[in-house]
Amino acid sequence: MPDDVHTPLAVQRRAWILLLLTAIFWGGNVVASRLAVGEVSSMAMVAIRWGIVSVAMLGFCWRDCVREWPLLRANWLRLSLMGFFGYTLYQLLYFGAAHATSGVHLAILQGVAPAFIFAGAWAFYGTPIGLMRGVGLALTMLAVAVVATHGEPQHLIGMDLNIGDIAMLVASLSYAAYTVALRKRPPVSALVFFTALSVVAALTSLPLMIGEMILGQTQWPTPKGWLAMSYIIVFPSLLAQIFFIRGVAMIGPGRASLFYNLVPVLGAIMAVTLLGEPFAPYQAVGLALALGGVLIAEVFGGRKF
């Protein structure tokens, strides 16, 4: 899989467009998820969205799935794990976090995912981090500490952290694991791969939704909930995932992660402008640290000093 500057410029430009659209769609997911709070329960949201996406994808490319079935069957365990961690668990934690923290926090805390991606690439593929990349990652983690403690790091001592912030961090770790695994995804076409993952997400979310129903905590979508879910299903869940898979295939997970870091910026801007959420000084500091860390890691990470 390409992950260097030798990728043809025309291919790079197509990848940039796909990944930019992905970042925009995921930024909008912050707003849609916050609007859905109180309009649909967490597991109902996850199960319905992936149920609809999987049915749509199977209807669109079932012939390709049948043709590539031997490859899917041979890689069922890897596909199952990627679908669960990248889609089911990530979305459950993400929407759960939306109930307990602000849209601005949701957006900014996603900025830790590239740090997890770099760490995973180093641990599993031996990708070197280097001094400047290490500095960038440290700044990113500092940004998380600033945002998660609301600008008061002493809260770390007493573990007085917002449960929503913690859930968002774990969600970022889950999606980072999925992104790292994309480097060696099963050798099937992008659409078939995404279809398989969406089916896994739909199936693995069903037991969790049943558990939610048994506990009496299920809330089926209201009209406003369906409106928010319509955006989430079409753009972040369907188009963005396909674009991201394709973009990573074109320029590699390392360079693709740079576009992922547009999500905190776009998400924070949308949360402030569309939801009317306040933008506190500590959030501005956290955002600056996160973006600065990523810039240092990406721009200077490959240089020797």
CA distance 97 to 33: 9
- Structural domain count, the chain: 1
Q: How confident is the model at residue 159 (pLDDT cuts 50, 70, 90)?
A: very low
Q: How confident is the model at residue 304 (pLDDT cuts 50, 70, 90)?
A: very low
Q: Among candidates 199, 219, 194, 206, which has minimal Cα distance to 36?
A: 219
Under the banding of pLDDT at 50, 70 and 90, the label for residue 221 is very high
Q: Which of 127-131, 182-186, 295-299 has the highest mean pLDDT?
A: 182-186
In percent, the amount of the chain with pLDDT more than 90 equals: 27
Judged against a pLDDT cut of 90, whether residue 195 lies above it is answered with yes
Average pLDDT over every residue of 166-194? 86
What confidence score (pLDDT) does residue 2 get? 47
Predicted confidence at residue 4, as pLDDT, reads 47
In a domain, 259, yes or no: yes
For residue range 10-62, what is the model confidence (pLDDT) as tens digits?
A: 877 888 889 889 988 988 888 888 888 889 988 899 899 999 999 999 998 99
Say what the pLDDT of residue 261 is: 67
Q: Does residue 305 form part of some domain? A: no
Residue 90 included in any domain = yes
Instruction: Answer yes or no: is 237 within a domain.
Output: yes
Better-predicted residue by pLDDT, 182 or 178: 178
Determine the pLDDT at residue 305: 41
pLDDT reading at 95 higher than 70 = yes
pLDDT bracket for residue 65 (50, 70, 90): very high
pTM of the model: 0.74
Structural domain contains residue 1: no
Q: What is the mean pLDDT of residues 230-253?
A: 85
User: Per the domain annotation, does 197 fall within a domain?
Assistant: yes
Answer yes or no: is 65 within a domain: yes
Q: By residue range, what is the domain housing residue 213?
A: 9-299
Whether residue 258 lies inside any domain: the answer is: yes
